[in-house]
Chains A and B, each alone.
Chain A
C-alpha cells in the first residue's frame, strides 16, 4: 500500500515563527503536492513538484515556499506564520506511470493553528 506520512497531526505556532511541514511518501512517486483545506473552499493547491529539485507554484503560493531535495520528501515552509495561515494542510503524491486512475494519494493532514 502507498503510504504518505506527515510529520505532525496537530501544530500550534505563534505569529512570525518559521514553520516546517514535512511529507514523506514510500512509493517512489515523481509528483508531490501541498494543499490547504478550508471549510467551503475545498482543497487549494499551494505548490507542487514534478520531480526532485523541481517545484511549481500552485494557486495560492504567497507566504509559502517548498523544498524537494530527495524524491520521497516534500517540505512546505511558512517563512513567517500569520493567523490567516491557520488551516488543514494536506500532502499528496502521484505516480506519472499510473495513467489508469490518475490517483493522488493523500497524507492524514496537519492541522496548523497560528496564534
Chain B
C-alpha cells in the first residue's frame, strides 16, 4: 500500500488569510484527488489532477500536482468561514482503482 502524508493536521486562521495544505509521498500516483468533508456528510470531490506539474484553479482554491506525481498542494487565497471543513487528499495507486487517503486537514476559518 502506498502512503500519503498530509500536513498540517489542524489549521485555524482568520478570515482573509491565505493557507496551504500539503500531501507528500515517496510513491508515484496515477492521479491525485482533493475532497472536502462537512460534519455528518461523506467527502465530496473538489478536483482531480492527473498530469505531473498540473495546476487547477477552483475560484480561490489552487491545486498543484508535483512534477514527479508524488506530491500535491492545495492553496486557498483569502479564506472565508465557508471554507471551514475537513480537506482530504487521495492518491490513486498506479496498480488499480484504489485510493490512498491522507490523514486530513481540519481547517477552521474564524470570522
Binding site for B on A (CB under 8 A): 4, 9, 31, 33, 35, 40-45, 48, 50, 58-59, 90, 92, 94, 96, 100-104, 106-109
Q: Contacts A40-B103, A102-B31 given: A108-B45 contact, CB under 8 Å? A: no
Q: Is B68 an interface residue (CB 8 A)?
A: no
| A-B pairs with beta carbons under 8 Å apart, 22 shown | A4-B42, A9-B40, A40-B9, A41-B103, A42-B6, A42-B101, A42-B103, A42-B104, A43-B43, A43-B101, A90-B42, A90-B43, A92-B42, A94-B97, A96-B97, A100-B48, A102-B31, A102-B33, A102-B92, A103-B48, A107-B42, A108-B42
Given contacts A42-B104, A43-B88, 13 further A-B contacts (CB under 8 A): A31-B97, A40-B103, A40-B104, A41-B103, A42-B101, A42-B103, A43-B101, A90-B43, A102-B31, A102-B48, A102-B92, A104-B33, A106-B43
Smallest CB gap from A101: residue in B: B48
Report whether A104 and B45 are in contact in the complex, using a CB–CB cutoff of 8 Å: yes
Residues of B within 8 A of A106 (CB): 42-44
Report whether A59 and B1 are in contact in the complex, using a CB–CB cutoff of 8 Å: yes
- A55 CB → nearest B CB, Å: 13
Residues of B within 8 A of A59 (CB): 1
The 8 A CB mask of B76-111 against A (1 = contact, 0 = none) is 000000000000101010000111011110000000
